[in-house]
Structure 1
């Protein structure tokens, strides 16, 4: 099914958002081999080697509120240049006893600011520009 979605996205020249938990290498290879031009790897927390391939291919990764407690996610985001980061939540998934919601973007931004040591208002501008570039809006 994932391969079918990728082919359709490639045919229609649409971006894809990839949730690759525990399958980082395989999903990256499928996205890359399909010729997808724009992809964001949601809540990336995989190996640095795969992250480097993702970035080399011009893809993005997303920073989520999980930056507050996930060392693998923190590590990946630390190694990702700002111009390749989008922020997002996992809404409406329950996490740590709470239902996540779009308002949690503020939490992701705050944690990204802490990790990157860049003011949140500056990061809001950068990640908004990244989103406009990614989605072509």
Structure 2
């Protein structure tokens, strides 16, 4: 089965959520919310989400799973959606308000495979931190 651009974006978000080995409810809710709210997901059949998630899990558990998921996803994405893909991955990892080492490593791997300059990725990361910041207590 050919990976669609929608599937690719969702798979990259799912890997971001699972990169620290603990997918939280907040991460899953964020993924669902992004799919429902963002224009890039217009036309995606939400009933396919379990199918996309299962396909991603199968790839991850295969040989060179993480690299295969990322490579397949990026091959399915138009170049103009690479910044969107990175922004979505950052958004999912930032929802817990702290990044584990594994999440940072995943973002680094994704960054290395994208055609984005360092200034763009830094801006995406700063914007995500700003969106998730809480009032000081």
TM-score by length of 2: 0.34
Q: Which has the higher helix share?
A: 2
Greater relative CO (CA pairs within 8 A, separation 6+): 2
